[in-house]
């Protein structure tokens, strides 16, 4: 492997793991980031002469660890001796590469719980998770959330400072507190996934790497709490949505679920999700479990028409109790239309006009039901309203095609 390729791969795929290992070793996010950067610079200088090491990741971790030891030693002048000695004692090198590897999932989970700490503001939690656990640049995160790069940098820096100054621990919460903390972590992971699945705006419809990163975090959490229904539910939900990634866009154009080529769906991801759904919906299922169950019914159906709509309608009814949001109600109305006919769905939609009038999905869903009810003029009007409100380019082109189909 060439030096460039090895380093690119390391930075792209492994930076979250490497950083998490260094945070565990040093107990400090800022220091960990500095020494990882420095170790990468050393690799860039040395590898062309000595060749790429067998295990580049282990090499970077070891080098960064040694740099961290040096820096902490140098601090001795400034800090109490006893504390420094304690830190040095904690700097134990992993006995073998295997041991170093086995510590990775725990390292990343610890860092994830730190980044998702409820003492941080929600937007800071998401940004910090993407920066430190997923290894994205501030610039990428800023683009994903449509804020200025400097704003995002400040947000991340402020959050890191608070972690350090306020003593937010690098730890997986003890069993007594794990439950209450888990819900917050799940919502951050789901936000990361959604940013990969359908960014709120911009030209690119899909960021597969963010979605995969979120699924990876979901698997880690599932490994931590295999019996937790909402963890299983969220992981299944993400897998099932991700399974449709190759069918959602054709030549950069949005393809609706009803028009997707189901042969393009990822059977492996669906197969991984199905047993998770089973486990998640037992007893009194939570919001993620219910959404996963809905996605599973879609995944099982051979076509849009042959989908078990009465069951999906029932699941949305349950979901509305858990999540009383107008967007869930919108999806429920679509399911009602499929199960009981377009007029029944339209009647439900009309009741949602007030909360959702500014949402393009409301108008495009209403337009589709109006077409099916044989009211093309009103449908055209609704599609035009949706077009005024739409965020992303592919969605805009989709609506324009629908309008063109009605006009001709």
Partner 1 sequence: MQYVALIYDVEDRPQSPSEFEEMMGGYFAFNETARGQGALLGGEALEPSSTATTVRVRDGEVLLTDGPFAETREALGGFYLLECRDLDHAIELAAKIPGASTGCVEVRPVLHIPGDG
Task: Give the footprint of partner 1 on this chain (CB under 8 A).
Answer: 78-79, 117, 119, 165-169, 171, 173, 177
Shortest reach from residue 164's CB to partner 1, in Å? 9
Q: Which residues contact 25 (CB under 8 A, 6 or more apart)?
A: 32, 65, 68, 90, 91
Measured CA to CA, the distance from residue 308 to residue 299 in angstroms comes to 11
For partner 1, the closer of residues 94 and 173 by Cβ is 173
- Cα–Cα distances in angstroms (integers) from residue 326 to residues 82, 319, 331, 355, in the given order: 57, 12, 9, 7
Min dist CB 37 to partner 1, Å, is 24
Nearest to 359, CA basis, from 329, 384, 389, 315:
389
In whole angstroms, how close is the CB of 118 to partner 1 at the nearest point?
9
Nearest approach, Cβ of 173 to partner 1 (angstroms)? 7
For residues 150 and 37, is the Cβ–Cβ distance under 8 A?
A: no
Nearest approach, Cβ of 93 to partner 1 (angstroms)?
Answer: 25
DSSP assignment of 162-189 equals HHHHHT--SSPPPHHHHHHHHHHHHHHH
**Helices 15-26 & 29-50 angle (0-180, nearest 10):** 120
Question: Residue 154 CB, nearest distance to partner 1 (Å)?
Answer: 20
Minimal distance in Å, beta carbon 165 to partner 1?
6
Q: Which helix (H) or strand (E) holds 253?
A: strand 253-254
How far apart are the C-alpha atoms of 21 and 408, rounded to whole Å? 61
Closest contact distance (angstroms) between CB of 340 and partner 1 is 48
Measured distance CA(92)–CA(103) in Å, rounded: 13
Compute the least distance from the CB of residue 16 to partner 1, in Å: 23
User: Is the four-CA dihedral 115, 33, 76, 89 of positive or negative sign?
Assistant: positive
Nearer to partner 1, 167 or 227 (CB): 167
At its nearest, how many Å lie between partner 1 and the CB of residue 358?
A: 34
Is the Cβ of residue 44 or residue 119 nearer to partner 1 in the bound state? 119
Q: How far apart are the first and last CA of the chain?
A: 57
CA distance 96 to 344: 64
**201 vs 403: CA distance, rounded Å:** 21
Give the residue with the Cβ less far from partner 1, 167 or 283: 167
Burial class (CB in 10 A: 0-12, 13-18, 19+), 187: middle
Output phi, psi for 375, to 5 deg: -125, 70
């Amino acid at each position: 492997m060439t030096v460039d390729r090895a380093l690119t791969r390391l930075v792209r795929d492994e930076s979250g793991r490497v950083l998490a290992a260094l945070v565990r070793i040093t107990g400090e996010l800022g220091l960990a980031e500095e020494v990882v950067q420095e170790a990468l610079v050393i690799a860039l200088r040395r590898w062309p002469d000595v060749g790429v090491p067998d295990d580049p990741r282990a090499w970077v971790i070891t080098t960064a660890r040694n740099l961290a030891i040096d820096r902490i030693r140098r601090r001795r002048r400034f800090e109490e001796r006893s504390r420094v000695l304690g830190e040095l004692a904690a700097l134990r090198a992993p006995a073998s590469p295997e041991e170093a590897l086995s510590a990775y999932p725990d390292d990343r989970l610890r860092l994830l719980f730190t980044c998702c700490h409820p003492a941080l503001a929600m937007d800071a939690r998401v940004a910090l998770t993407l920066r430190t656990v997923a290894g994205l640049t501030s610039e990428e995160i800023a683009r994903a959330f449509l804020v200025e790069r400097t704003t995002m940098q400040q947000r991340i820096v402020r959050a890191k400072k608070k972690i350090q100054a306020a003593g937010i621990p690098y730890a997986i919460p003890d069993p007594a507190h794990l439950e209450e903390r888990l819900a917050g972590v799940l919502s951050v992971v789901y936000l990361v996934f959604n940013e990969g699945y359908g960014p709120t705006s911009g030209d690119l419809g899909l960021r597969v790497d963010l979605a995969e990163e979120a699924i990876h975090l979901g698997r880690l959490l599932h490994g931590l709490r295999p019996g937790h229904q909402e963890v299983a539910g969220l992981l299944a939900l993400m897998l099932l949505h991700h399974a449709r990634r190759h069918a959602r866009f054709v030549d950069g154009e949005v393809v609706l679920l009803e028009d997707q080529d189901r042969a393009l769906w990822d059977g492996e991801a669906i197969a991984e999700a199905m047993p998770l759904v089973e486990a998640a919906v037992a007893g009194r299922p939570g919001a993620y479990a219910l959404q996963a169950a809905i996605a599973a019914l879609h995944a099982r159906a051979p076509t849009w028409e042959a989908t078990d709509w009465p069951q999906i309608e029932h699941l949305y009814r349950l979901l509305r109790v858990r999540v009383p949001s107008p967007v869930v109600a919108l999806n429920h109305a679509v399911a009602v239309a499929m199960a009981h006919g377009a007029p029944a769905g339209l009647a439900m939609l009309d009741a949602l006009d007030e909360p959702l009038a500014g949402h393009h999905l409301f108008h495009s869903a209403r337009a589709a039901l109006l077409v099916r009810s044989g009211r093309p003029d009103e449908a055209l009007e609704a599609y035009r309203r949706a077009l005024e409100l739409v965020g992303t380019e592919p969605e805009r082109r989709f609506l324009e095609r629908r309008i063109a189909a009605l006009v001709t």
